[in-house]
Structure 1
Amino acid sequence: MTYFLSKAGMDFFIAFGVVIGGSMLAGIGSVFMLMPPATAMLDTALRLKIWAIVAAIGGSIDPVKVIESNLMVGQLSPVAQQICFILFAFLGAHMGTELVRLVTKGAL
């Protein structure tokens, strides 16, 4: 249980950090390029969302492989764990995106 909670928490915060960090750097870069930072930040957050999830769950096909191989042999516990890890990563990326939307007041 401890492994599950720590891995789920790390997935959440990695995805959250990818979205927040990428958006902040896009905002800084847009200032140097004389573009509106709020628009660049929100656009970047929306585009980074899926990549934040991929980065959080390991950046490879391994989680999908775990789901497929365990589902075929009837072991549902590892399948449920992997799906939960993906959901936690999605929640982190979504919360990061919503925080950027809140800070930029929906600039798009």
Structure 2
Amino acid sequence: MNDELFIERIIISFFVAFGVILGGALIGGIGAFLVNQPPMHKINALSGSLKIWALVAAIGGTFDTFTNLERGFFEGTHLILIKQLIFILSAMAGAQSGAMILQWLTQETIS
């Protein structure tokens, strides 16, 4: 995997996770409003509970990441292991960034 593709994939992982948190929580807030629940509280709660799904969506939702991690551990290809960990960290950073923005907008702590 060349460096350009690697950087692109890191950026895309970040923004996919970021988008899953923002989109899911905001649309869920609209749903909460429609069923007469407090939308700001629901947006905040959803931003916390969608983090794992944002991570799964950002890394592709397949077992390729886990296969590459296994190859890195057992076959000694440390570069692949490091790249996969960077992809996961990028997705986690995107999910956390989205949740923090929603926390700032709703003025509540992440539940």
Q: TM-score range by the shorter chain?
A: over 0.9
Cα distance in 2, alignment partners of residues 69 and 85 from structure 1: 16
Q: Structure 1: which 5+ runs fail to align? A: none
Deviation by residue 1:38-64 (Cα, 9 ceiling, x = unmatched): 110010110000110011001122201
Q: TM-score, normalised on structure 2?
A: 0.93
Deviation by residue 1:6-54 (Cα, 9 ceiling, x = unmatched): 0000000000000000011011111111111111001011000011001
Q: Is the aligned partner of 1:27 residue 2:29?
A: yes
- 2:61 corresponds to which residue? 59
Runs of 4+ in 1 over 6 A off after TM superposition: none
Cα distance in 1, alignment partners of residues 66 and 16 from structure 2: 19
Cα distance in 1, alignment partners of residues 86 and 55 from structure 2: 12
3-state SS in 2 of match to 1:11: helix
Cα distance in 2, alignment partners of residues 70 and 35 from structure 1: 47
Residues 60-79 of structure 1 mapped to structure 2, 5 A cutoff:
60-79=62-81
The amino acid of 1:41's aligned partner reads I
**In structure 2, which of residues 38, 43, 65 is the aligned counterpart of residue 41 of structure 1?**
43
* Cα root mean square deviation, aligned: 1.1
Report sequence identity in percent: 34
- 2:88 corresponds to which residue? 86
The amino acid of 1:68's aligned partner reads E
3-state SS in 2 of match to 1:35: coil
Tell me how many residue pairs correspond in the alignment.
108
Cα distance in 1, alignment partners of residues 29 and 102 from structure 2: 11
3-state SS in 2 of match to 1:16: helix
The amino acid of 2:7's aligned partner reads L
3-state SS in 1 of match to 2:26: helix
